[in-house]
Structure 1
Amino acid sequence: MSLATQVENTLAASRVPNTTTTPSDNGMTALIDLVDELCGVYLDNSKGYLIESRLAPIAKRLECRDYGDLVQRAKSLTGAPLRGEIVDAITTHETLFFRDESPFNALRYKVLPDLIQHIESTRMMRRIRIWSAASSTGQETYSIAMVLNELSKDLPGWDLQILGTDVSPSSIVAAKRGWYSNLEVGRGLDAMSKSQHFSQEGAGWQVAPELQRLTKFEVRNLLKPFPERDQFDVVFCRNVAIYFKAKERADMFRRMVDTMTQGSWLFVGSAERLSDLGPEFTPQTHCGCTVYRPK
């Protein structure tokens, strides 16, 4: 039986209630459960290729007997680096600057102007907090920072901060560094944006200091409790909940709302809809982008 067929068969079996790991699946069910536990990515049939293409090479390199052996090593007291490697391998790092464009137009022309007006009329503190909740290697976070930086000249004295989080430790290391290759900056940035917000360094481009001052990054698993309450005015959580089970997805978004201020805005992926979560998730359309105002 080929590895691809084995993956497909085990994924199908793993959807049966109370399925347990058996010797015949070579630990694949346990690996599926481990990935779900570590980062919330549920490996159904549509994502079975991730095991074959991303995790099988790790098992082969470590000379594991089977996937069960890989799971045992990852769960051992010394398995933290391996757990991080599994998360890095299974999570999607495909991203680019100003991805989909319309959310950033909505941010620039609708969300931030309305938010600034709301804060000026209702709060003593002139502060804006934005969360990029699946920031990968930082392109989304720095795209938000470019928009916010362009408006900051009209906001003297305001406290502006963007938090970028991702479950992948290596992605956060790359985001903090803020250095991107010619290919990476060429994906989504025009020449003017590149010259305004980056400086050439070696064979690539370094994010400008003023953008780095607006941003901070940390590793965060969206399935775990969030430390904040009533802090974020804008949240970008795009193209990550599609990998979660329905219950985990609903729980994450409801906990996310608890971190958001009155008058806040929530961006999700262009193909995502939250109307099934309740009337507080009512969509609005601005600049061709669907956004939510849950509070």
Structure 2
Amino acid sequence: MTPQDIDAICGLVYDLCGIALDSSKDYLIESRLAELVKREGCANYVDFAVRARNSSDNLKRDVVNAITTRETLFFRDKSPFEALMFKAIPELVDEKSKSAYDKRIRIWSAACSTGQEPYSIAMTLMETLPDFRNWNISILATDISDDAIDRASRGLYPPLETSRGLESRYLNKYFTPQDGGHRIKDEVRAMVSFEKVNLLQSFVHLGRFDIVFCRNAIIYFNAEDRRRTYLNLANQVTDNGYLFVGSSESLIDLGPKFQPQHHCKSVFYQPNRQLPDFILANKVGPAVTPATPVVR
């Protein structure tokens, strides 16, 4: 690939989905887009980028589907789901139980990929709350990839995917065998709704959530987009709500409200919870420059 090819594709990918690629990712560009370039009959990647920009939404969708990372598994990293079970959900339930009318729990799984995360959240809720049917629980799962949303909404997973991170007791309890794989049961599926959302665009219309999971997605954004997106996400979290990010992501550079909270070997944030005056009155160390995003 020529420098012109790389620049053209990096610009195209950034404009379509906000992922910040650079010249070190020429191998990734070729491995994920070569078939599309060949299919479209383009002489090079510059020509392909021009065609994609001027094409219908179908080709743009194909580029996003090809370039976005789909690495996910059930109960990925495990500790966030333990913090959800033993910290976030009990505290939310205790708070909401003080009101006879506040029986609603809203959760957002942003960048949900093929659905393993939101379904893991749903199963965690069902395991934690014996009376979950008496609660109005809704989990919104979003992604920028149409293909990922389509797969996630079907809830059908081959054996390789159900064998990664999913304990046999969960498989037996919450899935049914189908078509050589396993399909998530309707009661779990009913908790989750799916929607296409670009995190670089406004998502105020989604409303506020008690819990937001946005893990291992914003690491692919540049520094300015990263900061803006996390601040926008924080605006969607309720006053005592929880924000879970990836294990390699630190938000302390965003200000004193983004003090990491630790539980069950997991880190989460409560950006809208009232902090003690001594924290708000003092700067929390020097600003931390985020690491350069790495796309694998």
- The CA distance in 2 between the partners of 1:196 and 1:250, in whole Å, is 40
Match of 2:29 in 1: 51
Q: Compute the displacement of 1:71 (Å).
A: 1.7
Q: Compute the displacement of 1:217 (Å).
A: 0.7
What is the SS of the residue equivalent to 1:38?
Answer: helix
Paired residues of 1:73 and 1:79 also in contact (CA < 8 A): no
What is the one-letter code of the residue matched to 1:224? Q
CA 1:107–1:47: 2 relative to 1, 3 Å: farther
1:81 aligns with 2:34: no
Using the size of structure 2 for normalisation, the TM-score is: 0.88
- The CA distance in 2 between the partners of 1:284 and 1:267, in whole Å, is 10
Q: Name which of 8, 12, 19 aligns with 1:41.
A: 19
- Give the share of equivalent positions with the same residue, in percent: 45
- The CA distance in 2 between the partners of 1:108 and 1:94, in whole Å, is 24
- The CA distance in 1 between the partners of 2:26 and 2:107, in whole Å, is 34
What is the SS of the residue equivalent to 1:121?
Answer: coil
Gaps of 5+ in 1: 11-24
The CA RMSD over aligned residues, in Å, is 1.5
- The CA distance in 2 between the partners of 1:138 and 1:280, in whole Å, is 30
CA 1:161–1:257: 2 relative to 1, 3 Å: same
What is the one-letter code of the residue matched to 1:157? N
Paired residues of 1:230 and 1:261 also in contact (CA < 8 A): no
1:257 aligns with 2:242: no
- The CA distance in 2 between the partners of 1:181 and 1:276, in whole Å, is 40
Match of 1:238 in 2: 215
Q: Compute the displacement of 1:79 (Å).
A: 2.4
1:279 aligns with 2:256: yes
CA displacement, residues 250-294 of structure 1 (integer Å, 9 cap, x when unaligned)? 111111111111100011110110011111111011000011001
Using the size of structure 1 for normalisation, the TM-score is: 0.88
Gaps of 5+ in 2: 273-296
Paired residues of 2:125 and 2:132 also in contact (CA < 8 A): no
Paired residues of 1:229 and 1:258 also in contact (CA < 8 A): no
Paired residues of 2:126 and 2:132 also in contact (CA < 8 A): no
Paired residues of 1:230 and 1:258 also in contact (CA < 8 A): no
Match of 1:172 in 2: 149
What is the SS of the residue equivalent to 1:104?
Answer: helix
Q: Counterparts in 2 of 1:1-295, with a 5 A limit?
A: 3=1, 6=2, 10=3, 25-26=4-5, 28-76=6-54, 78-121=55-98, 124-228=101-205, 231-295=208-272
- The CA distance in 2 between the partners of 1:124 and 1:154, in whole Å, is 16
What is the SS of the residue equivalent to 2:200?
Answer: coil
- The CA distance in 2 between the partners of 1:289 and 1:201, in whole Å, is 34
- The CA distance in 1 between the partners of 2:142 and 2:133, in whole Å, is 27
Q: Compute the displacement of 1:229 (Å).
A: 6.4
Number of matched residues? 272
What is the SS of the residue equivalent to 2:205?
Answer: coil
- The CA distance in 2 between the partners of 1:97 and 1:178, in whole Å, is 12
Match of 2:285 in 1: none
CA 1:291–1:67: 2 relative to 1, 3 Å: same
Q: Compute the displacement of 1:123 (Å).
A: 8.0
Match of 2:283 in 1: none
